[in-house]
Structure 1
Amino acid sequence: MTTVIAGILMLGVLVFVHELGHFAVAKWCNVKVLRFSLGFGPKLVSKQWGETEYLICAIPLGGYVQMLGEGSGEHGEEAELTPEERRRSFADQKVSRRLAIVSAGPLMNLILPFLILPISFMSGVQMPTYLEEPAVIGHVIAESEAAKSGFMAGDQVLSVNQRAVESWNQTNKAFVNSAGDLLRFEVERDGKLLTLEIPEENNSLEGMQALGLLPMQQARVGGLADNMPAEKAGLQVGDLILQIGDQKIATWYDLKVVIQQYGGATVPLQLERAGQTISVELTPEQRDGEGDFLIGIAPMQQTEVKRYGFVAAFEEGAKRTWELIELTVVFVQKLFSGSVSAKNIGGPITVVQVAGQAAQTDLAAILSVLAFISIQLGILNLLPIPILDGGHILFNLIELILRRPVSIRVREMAQQVGIAMLLMLMVLAFYNDIVRLLS
């Protein structure tokens, strides 16, 4: 429940920023704003302040700013207005002003990351150390795209689609413009250069690990589950597992295979602790008497906190913001071209879940997730789909070219099509969210 509440609050911040953009520019253009609402549906809280009613509504999946002379209804562009009201009507503003008002919402979402990511970098970003290390493969997941393409543990990735890479971080970034395309890797194996290919249908947008390629990972204990064999046997956080039974353990990924071989039998472990080798015995267990045998440990993830000075933080924040914008634009482009599966679309459940999990960590994580979702919200709203801001921008640009407004009838029909498209997109997004939750 805490995760859900935290996620809704973070989403509310982004909706507020978006609607504040519309509201502020409308006020600057002297357009009368009737309502400023966070959420849709029944009112929860309502306050009349000046000429504007401020609301918080029951469905926290968006918001709106209602202006005089906008759309249809009693206060719409066909309403009977006094000369003073007509002067302050949205419909009677110059096209340039209407474009500014409509564009302000998504632009605020795109500007926000430039302001909050520097704070994240100044406060300190916790980064896994392997991201800056050479992209040496520690494990290849069985039956994954990488396994089918011939990758093996120990391979070092040197380039992706002829783009040289020197670290895991660079390798993941190299995927951005290649999403949905054939991936051609140059790898070094035992001193020899090989070329391995992964077909167009791949999960490259989610990075190396989604392809089945995992980094080198020591078999060092990072966490212990309560009342499980490892805790009962006296293992401690920081212990390095060297051997189980008569089998040497080189990486974390060896553990599962070896433990399953011994099953429920009591087995000796050799550990390194504070420079000394010690031996313990434990008996792996199954949950509810079925499934894999477990000993109840989690890996230790080596991380480092990077902090930046004021100027460097803004430089790094701007760089990261452009990377996220590029990633989102490429995803949208690849999605509409069919190069990326629609299974990658996430809906409100995923957004709330991710935001909620980040909200329970630290300031840097909260701001990073806010920035990423804000960019997605901004770009989504710029799509030229009627009912979205991008659709309104399109109609205003057409008016600018034709020197006459698109008829209300045409706009209403287009908005009905837009609503249908948006509903189908939401159904797909909710379906994907539910499938992810169940899996």
Structure 2
Amino acid sequence: MVTLIAGIIMLGILVFVHEFGHFCVAKMAGVKVLKFSLGFGPRLVSKKWGETEYMICAIPLGGYVQMLGEGGGEEGEEAPLSPEELERSFANKPVSRRTAIIAAGPFMNLLLPFLVLPVAYLVGVNLPAYLDRSPCIGHVVAGTDGARAGFEPGDCLVSINGDEVATWSATNNAIISHAGSPLDIEVARGGSLTRLVMTPEDGGVEGLQSLGLLPRQDAVVGGLAPGMPAQEAGLAVGDRIVAIADRPIESWYDLKVNIQELGAEPQAFVVERGGELLELTITPVREEADGADYLIGIAPHQDTVFKRFGLVDAIRAGAERALELIELTLVFIQKLFAGHVSAKNIGGPITVVQIAGQAAQTDLSSVLTILAFLSIQLGILNLLPIPILDGGHLFFNLFELVLRRPLSLRAREIAQQIGLILLLLLMGLAFYNDIVRLFFGGQ
């Protein structure tokens, strides 16, 4: 419930920023704003200040600004306008002003990351330590693109399609930028160089991890699930597991293999704690029906590096990160429409609320980073040239600017209907993916 509420609040912030952009520019352009709504459907809270009614509605999946002469919202057809009102009508404004009003929403979403990310770097960010380390593989997941391409634990990536990669982070960016294309990867292995070629099935849109290539992860306990065998046996956060039933454990990835093979029998776990070796007896359990994994209830320790930036460096780092996120989002959309990235990667409101809610329960820098990431998605999505979205209306205005006449009413109606169908199909796919992830563990 906390995750849900936190997620809805963060989603509300994004919607507010978007609609506030439309609202402010409309006011500056002399357009009368009738309604400013967060959410759709029945009103929960409503207050009229001046000439505008401000509302919070029951369905928190968007919002709208209704302007005089625009229609939409909940009212349907508007009454004939007086000469004074006609002067303040959205439809009666020059195309340049209408374009500015429409573009202001997505623009505000794209501007927000340049404001909040510097704050995140200013207060300090916790970054996974491996991101700045050499891209050396600690584990290759069986059955993945990486395994099929022939990667082995200990391989260190040198270049991708001729571009040198010095860190894990740089490698991820290189893979994402080449998503959907063959990857010619030079690898250092055992003192020599070898080349591996692969074309990821999902495009590689999440970098090395989506290829089944994971960083080295020591078998150190970072978290314990309440009431599970590990906690009840006395395992503690910070313990390093060095052996299970006389089987040596070299990394975190060895744990799952050995726990599954040994099954539900009591096993001797040898752990290192404070420089001493201790032996604990732990019996793995299955919480579900046959076929589920054996569990002991532990999570890995994530080695992080806390970095705090000065004002100038924070502004620079925040702007660079914002531009990087915009670029990666555009690459993803391009690869998606080109068929190089699976549509399974599309997430809907449920995924957005989950991501936002989980971030909201961590630290301020994580909240601001996720807020920036989601704001970019919302801004770019709204700029797609699909009627009903802001990008579709901008396309109509571009047509009017070039031909010096508006698109016919009939043509706009047909385009709106097509856009509505496309949007409903996209939303249906997104909700389907969300439900599969949430209830069936789909990827």
Tell me the TM-score normalised to structure 2 length: 0.94
Question: Quick one: structure 1 residues 200 and 229, their matched pair in 2 at CA, closer, same or farther if it must change by over 3 Å?
Answer: closer
**Match in the other structure for 1:12:** 12
Corresponding residue number in structure 1 for 2:320? 319
Distance 1:24 1:244, change over 3 A: same
Letter in 1 for 2:339: G
Residue in structure 1 matched with residue 385 of structure 2 by the alignment: 384
Q: Contact between 2:145 and 2:200, CA under 8 Å: does it hold in 1?
A: no
Write the distance in 2 (CA, Å) between the matches of 1:215 and 1:413: 51
Query: Secondary structure of 1:171's match?
Result: helix
- After TM superposition, give the deviation of residue 76 of structure 1 in Å: 8.8
Contact 1:36 1:55 in 2 (8 A): yes
Tell me how many residue pairs correspond in the alignment: 439
- Equivalent-residue separation in structure 2 for 1:405 and 1:282 (angstroms): 73
Q: Post-superposition shift, 1:315?
A: 0.5
DSSP-derived class of the 1:285 partner: coil
Q: Report what 2:395 is aligned to.
A: 394
Contact 2:107 2:379 in 1 (8 A): yes
Residue 61 of structure 2: aligned partner? 61
Deviates more, 1:117-126 or 1:406-415: 406-415
1:134–1:2 distance in 2 versus 1, CA, 3 Å: same
- Post-superposition CA distance 1:369-420 (Å, at most 9, x none): 1111110111111111111111111111111111111122221221111111
| 1:297 is the counterpart of 2:295 | no
Using the alignment, how far apart are the partners of 1:210 and 1:42 within structure 2?
A: 42
- In the TM superposition, what are the counterparts of 1:139-218 in structure 2 within 5 Å? 139-218=139-218
The one-letter code sitting in structure 2 at the alignment partner of 1:368 is T
> Match of 1:127?
127
Q: For 1:136-188, what per-residue CA distance to the aligned partner results, in whole angstroms no more than 9, with x for missing partners?
A: 11111111111111111111111122211111111111122211111221111
AA aligned opposite 1:3: T
Equivalent residue letter for 2:142: A
2:414 paired residue number = 413
After TM superposition, the structure 1 stretch with the greater mean CA deviation from structure 2, 63-72 or 104-113, is 63-72
| Alpha-carbon spacing, 1:427–1:288, altered in 2? closer, same or farther (3 Å) | closer
Displacement after TM superposition at 1:260 (Å): 3.0
- For 1:363, the aligned partner's letter is L
Mark the CA change 1:265 to 1:387 in structure 2 (over 3 Å): closer, same or farther. closer
| 1:77-92 paired onto structure 2 within 5 Å | 80-92=80-92
Letter aligned with residue 99 of structure 2: L
Residues 70 and 77 in structure 1, CA contact (< 8 A), matched pair in contact too:
no
Provide the C-alpha distance between the structure 2 equivalents of 1:363 and 1:98, rounded to a whole number of angstroms: 37
The two structures have a TM-score, normalised by structure 1, of 0.95
Structure 1 residues 263 and 81: CA distance shift in structure 2, 3 A = closer
Deviation at 1:191, TM superposition (A): 1.0
Greater CA deviation, 27-36 or 74-83? 74-83
2: CA distance between counterparts of 1:158 and 1:72?
55
Q: Deviations over 1:212-246 (max 9, x none)?
A: 11110111122223343333433222121222232
Instruction: Give the aligned CA root-mean-square deviation in angstroms.
Output: 2.0
- 1:93 to 1:274, Cα distance in 2 relative to 1, 3 A: same
Q: How does 1:352-367 map to 2 (within 5 A)?
A: 352-367=353-368
CA distance 1:282–1:431, change in 2 (3 Å): closer
**Which residue does 1:279 correspond to in 2?**
279
Matched letter for residue 184 of structure 1: D
CA-CA distance at 1:366 after TM superposition: 0.9
Separation (CA, whole Å) in 2 of partners of 1:406 and 1:301? 56
Q: CA 1:251–1:400 in structure 2 vs 1: closer, same or farther (change >3 Å)?
A: same
Deviation, 1:17, is 0.6
* Percent identical: 62
Rounded to whole Å, the distance in 2 between the matches of 1:183 and 1:272 is 41
Give the secondary structure class of the aligned counterpart of 1:301.
Answer: coil
CA 1:160–1:49 in structure 2 vs 1: closer, same or farther (change >3 Å)?
Answer: same
Q: Which residue of 2 aligns with 1:347?
A: 348
Q: Distance in 2 between matches of 1:144 and 1:43?
A: 49
Alpha-carbon spacing, 1:240–1:415, altered in 2? closer, same or farther (3 Å): same
Question: Aligned partners of 2:324, 2:214: CA distance in 1, in Å?
Answer: 23
Q: Decide whether aligned partners of structure 1 residues 255 and 405 sit closer, same or farther in structure 2, where only a CA change above 3 A counts.
A: same
The whole-number CA distance in structure 2 between the counterparts of 1:359 and 1:431 is 25
| Separation of aligned partners in 2, 1:301 and 1:330 | 29
Q: In terms of mean alpha carbon deviation, does 238-247 or 46-55 score higher? A: 238-247
- Show CA shifts across 1:113-150 (max 9, x none): 00011111111111111111111111111111111111
SS of the residue corresponding to residue 293 of structure 2 reads: strand
* Residues 250-277 of structure 1 deviation map (CA, whole Å, 9 limit, x = unaligned): 1111122223333334333332222223
> What are structure 2's unaligned runs of at least 5 residues?
none
State the alpha-carbon separation in 1 of the partners of residues 63 and 295 from structure 2: 47
Contact 1:77 1:91 (C-alpha < 8 Å) held by counterparts: no
The SS at the match of 1:197 is strand
Q: Any conservation in 2 of the 1:217–1:251 contact (CA below 8 Å)?
A: yes
In structure 2, relative to structure 1, the CA distance for the partners of 1:70 and 1:299 (3 Å cut) is same
Please state how far the C-alpha of 1:292 moved relative to its aligned partner.
3.3
Cα distance in 2 for residues equivalent to 1:55 and 1:22:
16
Structure 2 partner of 1:334: 335
Are the aligned partners of 1:70 and 1:76 in contact in 2 as well (CA < 8 Å)? Answer: no
